[in-house]
Structure 1
């Protein structure tokens, strides 16, 4: 079942296509499509272009600098950007802490931070997970003790994506150790240049420096950097996670990868025939396509309903589960389609423009892509935790 777009939406799609054709640097699109590693400058290049057009803060209301898009317009942009090879928008500032500040922040916080996010002047990271508090986030141990007009923060965060680039971190801290787990947490904004903040890299299997450990030792944080009420940070955390989990669904990226999978399967041969004609392989591709169509429709319904309430609800857990599993299945099928050519790992491929003359041109990044996307069913709250949320919040079990 295809989505039916009206004339206004079709005109908007053409506007997005024209904008991307004119503004997306070809060398950057080529880098994305070939699976090369993107630098901070690569991300900022595209985000600055979007900012100039007023399209960066796609979920924000117009009064705060957003474009005023509805869910269908955001969906169309995501599709076209993925198809064209535009870098994904780093979500921590514009897609996570921005909406939290809009919803719960003070007037001073909105005036200070929102314009800087829109202008890409602050790179944000997310201080949620800890060595002993991942999916069970409410068990976090990082402490913030009030001393007059500031807090003193001590603890450790882990799996902190792009913390080595970050200027600011939104951080969950325990401000009342005697309260029940969810009731003693606060939401702080921490300057990463503060004395006592140490960032240590965690290298992934493919050598990528994407995530980090962050150590906080007697870090002084002004009281004015508290978002919402003290000990009520769990409300902010849940609000933010709704946006994060909806984003993890990645419908636009999954649709582009499915197109790539079909193209690969049409070129690869099995018993002298295109692999896409093999009944077993074709059935797996068809199953992915059906599930992706269902995810797309559910995603549109969830974000449309959220327009009334201001944030995606527990339904975002369904999007997170299905979206992550679909992308894992697609990367698995692409790897299987290429067979032994997808097995070797060439580190130099990701950091240079030199071609790797082994097998088809689409093979070199597939192994790293497959292994990297094992994580999507874990981060943002593991899929097991998402099923618990669905059982409790939707099914009432």
Structure 2
């Protein structure tokens, strides 16, 4: 009898995986294709803006159009990633299919006219809305719809950065601090891998980053680890976490105060666009516009340049943080993650110079650790380090990301994240609340 039960159990598992493979295949193909089109279009439009700097002057107009599109066509799609997270937690009104064309169009507009934003938000929202659309056609149960939405998030994230394992873990980890549920483990991995393969097959090539440093223990070492370098990485991780905290809170504050003090809502993106234009001319550089992966000039500050000596100024991280917080806080669309990569890499470059640490190592650690602190996804970000930079410095990836995670506190860019396990006992009163509820409670004190 026990042998029969064992065989039946394995048969049930095989049937379950076959079912999800059939569900995931069309979703991953659709999301991977959409992400490929998005990345191709984004590159073309950024190059167009490089060639025509005057396009920046139309950023306030673009902001107004984005506002009108979401006001009259968007409905609840304006909530973006937080809507998807809420639907995974507790199914409600659903994720509308209109989210895909809206976020695609408005993100491209943001970048064409110089707004400082990312791209993961667009990919994740396209993945989530396509998953919701597909799930409704399949008439899935609430439990299966939850898994399919997570798979859509994984597909979008994995494809947009070319990091399939990170995409899968991110979709599992981003929902709640301190808890990862494994019921969606294989569906998310399948979706992320297949979407990435689809995107790559369309001819999309992701930027290559390199950390040439390989740890070699010095005289004061134990277990083949350079303890002096490790201590500097810990201190850097504290800084990365605090900057992740700063970015999340500044972005939310700009959004909240804009809505509070600017009574005409359509004026918010117009004013935000005007401020971006003014800051660009004040600094005399376009380096902090758009993604920041590639620059207009050979000597531009970019994510790639931050991995080399002289590739960033001491305050490049701050200017990118400010430009992005204003752009997203005043209603433009895109994502936060690629700007967080820029902020982290530039901050790592600065700290490396001050602390006499290999620049490429600390730029890479900042790249993933500021992201970890701002999104509360330290495990996904550690894996991202391996997928992007190789496994030679895995210990330092983990130390930087885990430290940043703790020092960012109970804050983050995704306000619908829940506190499943508090980061420390002193914050246990936050357990079960969302980050937005925590922010509201702090404002009342």
Superposition TM-score, scaled by structure 2 size: 0.25
If each structure's helix is expressed as a fraction of its own residues, which one has the higher value?
2
If asked which structure has higher relative contact order (CA below 8 Å, sep 6+), I would say: 2
If each structure's strand is expressed as a fraction of its own residues, which one has the higher value?
1
